[in-house]
């Protein structure tokens, strides 16, 4: 290859890196990053540093059957005897009862796991999170992950305030994504004969 051809191939590679690579690779890396961190959090309950998220609350909480599925309500308030044993209060015209085991008990009576925090009661928050960055972000080499809907943004912010950063990447995940990006860059050079 001549110097002129090398320069042409190099310039073409740089143009592709600035346009196509970022516009295609950054959204893909963002999606991959989200998949990795979601899997880690939901399957192990660990944050990016490898520590468990603080456990589900066992502080007594107020609730009523309108916030529960029928079988869960039946477990705690499904008979006159059970309702009689509950501690009842009225808040803004709504009759509520106390769940002495807090949110952890609420999850248990709904059949959800409680051995670690997975932020997965209905999965609405997780299903709303995606790559939210723009094309201009991608062209600058950034992929931003977050919730799209206001309700889920507030839920994510509340969970983060209570339990710590949920959407951070671990060093192992960053290394994996870096290698993925580097391979994409190498492929551009390779396709242009460099």
Domain residue limits, the chain:
16-54+118-194, 56-115
Its pTM stands at 0.82
Query: What's the confidence (pLDDT) of residue 97?
Result: 95
Contacts of 48 (CB under 8 A, 6+ apart): 37, 165, 168, 169, 170, 171, 173
The H or E element spanning position 63 is strand 61-63
Low-confidence ranges of the chain (pLDDT < 70): 21
Burial category of 134 from C-beta neighbours within 10 Å (exposed 0-12, middle 13-18, buried 19 and up): exposed
Query: What's the confidence (pLDDT) of residue 139?
Result: 81
Query: What's the confidence (pLDDT) of residue 175?
Result: 96
Query: What's the confidence (pLDDT) of residue 39?
Result: 97
Q: How many CB atoms lie within 10 A of CB 127?
A: 11
């Amino acid at each position: 290859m001549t110097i002129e051809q090398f320069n042409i191939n190099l310039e073409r590679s740089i143009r592709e890196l600035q346009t196509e690579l970022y516009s295609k690779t950054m959204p893909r890396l963002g999606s991959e990053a989200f998949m990795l961190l979601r899997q880690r959090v939901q399957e192990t309950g660990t944050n990016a540093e490898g520590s468990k998220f603080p456990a589900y609350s066992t502080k007594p909480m107020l609730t009523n059957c309108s916030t529960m599925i029928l079988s869960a309500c039946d477990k705690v308030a499904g008979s006159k005897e059970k309702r009689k044993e509950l501690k009842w209060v009225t808040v803004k015209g709504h009759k509520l009862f106390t769940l002495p085991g807090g949110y952890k008990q609420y999850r248990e009576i709904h059949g959800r796991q409680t051995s670690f925090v997975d932020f997965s009661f209905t999965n609405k928050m997780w299903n709303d999170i995606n790559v939210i960055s723009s094309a201009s972000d991608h062209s600058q080499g950034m992929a931003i992950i977050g919730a799209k809907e206001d309700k889920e943004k507030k839920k994510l912010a509340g969970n983060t305030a209570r339990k710590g950063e949920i959407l951070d990447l671990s060093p192992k995940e960053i290394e994996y994504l870096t290698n993925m990006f580097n391979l994409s860059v190498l492929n551009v050079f390779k396709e242009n004969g460099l």
